[in-house]
Every structure is written in structure tokens, then in C-alpha cells.
């Protein structure tokens, strides 16, 4: 799944909780961090990690692959919902994904 697909799967709190439960059934979804493979891009592959089992770094390497932190899943879900509500649900998944990446690069 890439960031655009991620947006479609976390538009609501229930969806985000279900996504986290699918990866980590034993964790509260607030303990899940979103990392992107290699670069911050809307087409980068998304990897979810148990935040307590990895270093608290903006970039990590796992099995020879570089991952860049996007946001904690709970924060990303709130942002997706906020962007959607602020624009009366007219933003596409791609537009919201662009805003997430831009915020992470420029403001976070």
C-alpha cells in the first residue's frame, strides 16, 4: 500500500483501528507508527511498525531497507479527518496524501 491507499484506509477512526488491528492485533492503534520505504512520497510503500519495538528515529534501517517516519498512525488519521472536514469532503485521497507529505516535509 502506498500513501494514497493509506489515506483511503484511515479516513475514520474505526478504519484506522481496523488497519492497526490487522497488522498488530495486540496493540492499541496509538502505538503504531507509519514509515515510508526509502523516501517521503505519496507513492512510497507504507510500513506499519510497533513504535515500542523500533528506535525512535526519523529514519531507520530494517533488513537492509531504509524507512522514513511519516507520523504515528493516530496522528495521521486525525490529520486525514481534519483535511477532509476542512474542505467539506471534496479532497481526493491523492490531494490529502500530498498534504500529509508536504506537512511532514515543511512543518513537522
Query: Looking at the 3D structure of the chain, how many domains does it have?
Result: 1
The pLDDT assigned to 108 comes to 60
Q: Provide the residue-wise pLDDT of the chain in tens; the chain has 108 residues.
A: 999 999 999 999 999 999 999 999 999 989 999 999 999 999 999 999 999 999 989 999 999 999 999 999 999 999 999 999 988 888 999 999 999 999 999 986
Q: Cβ neighbours of residue 52 under 8 Å, at least 6 residues apart?
A: 31
Spatial distance between the Cα atoms of 38 and 60, rounded to a whole number of angstroms? 10
Give the residue numbers spanning the domain of 25.
3-106
Beta-strand pair 46-50/59-62: unpaired
β-sheet bridge partners, residue 47: 35
| pTM for the whole structure | 0.92
Amino acid at each position: 500500500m502506498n500513501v494514497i491507499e493509506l489515506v483511503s484506509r484511515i479516513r475514520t477512526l474505526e478504519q484506522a483501528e481496523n488497519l492497526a488491528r490487522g497488522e498488530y492485533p495486540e496493540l492499541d492503534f496509538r502505538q503504531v507508527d507509519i514509515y515510508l520505504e526509502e523516501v517521503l512520497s505519496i507513492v512510497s510503500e507504507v510500513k506499519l511498525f510497533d513504535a515500542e519495538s523500533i528506535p525512535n528515529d526519523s529514519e531507520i534501517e530494517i533488513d537492509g531497507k531504509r524507512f522514513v517516519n511519516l507520523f504515528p498512525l493516530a496522528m495521521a488519521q486525525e490529520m486525514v479527518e481534519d483535511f477532509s472536514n476542512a474542505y467539506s469532503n471534496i479532497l481526493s485521497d491523492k490531494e490529502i496524501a500530498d498534504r500529509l507529505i508536504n506537512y511532514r516535509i515543511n512543518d513537522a
